[in-house]
Each structure stands twice: as structure tokens, then as C-alpha cells.
Amino acid sequence: MLRLMQGNEAVAYGAIMAGCRFYAGYPITPSSEIAHVLARELPKVGGKFIQMEDEIASLGAVLGASVGGVKAMTATSGPGFSLMQEHIGYAAMAEIPCVIVNVQRLGPSTGQPTSPAQGDVMQARWGTHGDHPIIVLCPSSVKEAFELTIKAFNFSEKYRTPVILLMDEVVGHMREPLEYPPAKPPEVIDRVQASMPPEWYYPYDEELGDVPPMVPFGMGYRYNITGLHHDRSGFPTLRPDEIRSWIERVFRKIESNKADITLYQEEGANPRILLIAYGATARAARQAFKIAKARRYKIGFLKLMTIWPFPEEVVERAARSAVRVIVPEMNMGQLALEVERVVGKRKVRRVNKVDGSMITPAEILKAIEEVK
């Protein structure tokens, strides 16, 4: 059945379909509709909704629920996302699956709560201290908001890691038709459970693979969880070999599976001009691509739905024939830095806007027309 649905609503329904049964959050524009829907719908499927006192406590509750064996998520915007960084780092260290939705707004500080922006791209990757990988997905439509929420939960469970769904105000608040429930049920992945007896279980045992099984607390498998570097049983360690082994494993479990994690759409073969965009800006970029193609420009369009880990192999291949790569984004050039690293700074033309308004197809077309 087709339903006219808001992007934030699609995230909430996608979470339920992925198996989310716990939400803890604090209301903040422009993400609050996610909480509104889940407050109403989670109890209908046996789930729990809690409004917490702040965003720090929200993600803490989500981590506790996940350790207890429940798929869990929270949603916020810029200021709340800043408050969550320590717990995101904790989730990465303890390898606790969870989903964090950040519906971006214009910043910094309180900025403009109802204006769109893409200023949290680098924060999503480097917001926490320390060195660890992260998965960040970015939808550009209501349908993708629904589908990528399910993907976020699947990646989180499959790779035992926090996953960030990085939206923006336009995608969060726009309405588009969405088939819900979908005619074909989506794939739903659950975390790997232990098959050995409790006395043989180690929650961080790399001999069991890059993603060791995770058993919920309360199931008779006793182990420790800490934010300190830990040995295979979860207890703190100072041994350099154990610390190095853990760091190498958590990077390896993401890097060795980039082909599975990297989501993108590509149009146009062997382009002379390549557009690379993500989120709401990808909508304007695709329209500019269609107009330029009709005007016989040899142009390509690459829409990134996975922005971290950065899909450098995809970008490098797509840009191989291009003399100019145009990267529009509602910031001063955050993802463009990664594109420049991969294809060379001289090839890249940035189209930036930071005043709380959308980049238009006309502005992107102007950059296309400048290519000689």
C-alpha cells in the first residue's frame, strides 16, 4: 500500500521493520518526529520507548538495551549528536551494535534548527577521540530513509558496531509516497549468537573471527564490558600485543567488508564531467545531470549512500576519465576533501552553500558550464 510519508516517519517504520524494539531519546528539531512515531508504534510490537533527560543518557540507555539483546536506536540533531560522542566511542570500543540517527541542521551551536545543512559529515567520522572505524549511511529520499535505516541495523548487527544514519532536515521533513509495508519483506540480519558452552565463551575472541559472537547479558554467559582496552574476556589490559590486535581487528572487520558496506548509484559511462553528491543535495545534482545530459554534455553522476568508510575505490574508478569532478554539498567542502584526496585537488570543483538554503540545479549547472 502506498502511503504519503515523511522522511523521519520512514526512519521510524524502517527501524521497526528491522527489529528495533527499544528507543531512548530526547526531542530536538528536526528529528523529533522519529521519536513521536516510535512512542506510538513501539508498544504495539512489544517494544519500549523512553524519553530521557538528555542525549548523553539517551545513548547510554540504548547501549544498555543492546547489551541486553535488544535492537536499539536513538535520534538527534547537531547539538545532541555532539553530546553523544563519548558514548559512540564507548560503543566502538565495547563493540555494541546500535543505530544513531542524526538529522542535520544548520550550525554550529544551536544554529538554525529548521534549516538544512550537511555540516556534520566529518564529525560523523571523527567526532570521537581515539582511532576506530565507523559506518555512516546517508539517504536522499523518503524511500532511502526507510531502506537505509534497515541497512543500518543490519550492518550494526552483522559487524557488531555503531552505525550512524546521517540525514538532513530536507530529507527528514519532506513527504513522498512509500510502499509500506513493502510487498517484498526486506532482509533482516540479527547478531551472531554463541554456540559454545558458557565456560568456553570469550566476547572478544578473534579466533572466532573478526566479528566474535555477542551473547546478551542474563543468558548465563558471564563477561565484562569496559571502555578500557581489553583482552578477549573483556577485562582491562595493558599488553601492547592485545591492544594492537584489537585495533587491527575492528578496522579489519570494516575494511575487509567494504564491498558489502559501500552503497551507491552511478549513471553515465566514461564521463568527462562527474557529479558526486549525497543526501538532499543529490536530488539537485541529479536534476542538473539530466539537464546537462540533454544538452549533450558527457557527464556522469555518482550518488553516495555510504559516505564512511569513504568509498575511495568507487570514486577513483568513476572519476578515471573525468577532467572535472564537481562536488556540491551544504557545507564548505567536507566530503570534497576526501574526493580531492582520491582524484587530486586540481580535478575537483566545489559547489558550496552554508546559509540554510538548498543548492539548486541551476547552481550546479553553472559549475558544469565552466568546464572547458
Confidence of residue 1 (pLDDT cuts 50, 70, 90): confident
Element containing residue 2 per DSSP (H, E):
strand 2-6
Taking the C-alpha atoms of residue 60 and residue 58, their distance in angstroms, rounded to an integer, is 5
Q: Is the pLDDT of residue 30 over 90?
A: yes
pLDDT at residue number 193: 87
pLDDT at residue number 80: 98
pLDDT at residue number 222: 86
Residues 273-301 have pLDDT tens digits of: 999 999 999 999 999 999 999 999 999 99
The mean pLDDT of 153-175, rounded to a whole number, is: 98
Q: What is the pTM of this model?
A: 0.97
Percent of the chain with pLDDT over 90: 97
Burial class (CB in 10 A: 0-12, 13-18, 19+), 48: middle
pLDDT at residue number 218: 87
Residues 177-228 have pLDDT tens digits of: 999 999 999 999 999 888 899 999 999 999 999 999 999 988 889 889 999 9
Residues 74-106 have pLDDT tens digits of: 999 999 999 999 999 999 999 999 999 999 999
Residues 105-157 have pLDDT tens digits of: 999 999 999 999 999 999 999 999 999 999 999 999 999 999 999 999 999 99
342 CB-side CA count, 13 A? 19
| Cα–Cα distances in angstroms (integers) from residue 81 to residues 8, 56, 110, in the given order | 16, 9, 12
pLDDT at residue number 186: 96
Q: Is the pLDDT of residue 243 over 80?
A: yes
pLDDT at residue number 54: 97
The mean pLDDT of 262-280, rounded to a whole number, is: 97
The mean pLDDT of 310-324, rounded to a whole number, is: 98
Closest to 261 (Cα-Cα) out of 276, 269, 251 = 251
126 CB-side CA count, 13 A? 6
Q: Is the pLDDT of residue 236 over 90?
A: yes
Q: Please, what are the domains in the chain?
A: 2-179 (3.40.50.970), 198-258 (no CATH), 265-369 (3.40.50.920)
pLDDT at residue number 342: 98
pLDDT at residue number 214: 94
Q: Is the pLDDT of residue 372 over 80?
A: no
Average pLDDT, the chain: 97
Closest to 255 (Cα-Cα) out of 132, 145, 106 = 132
pLDDT at residue number 86: 97
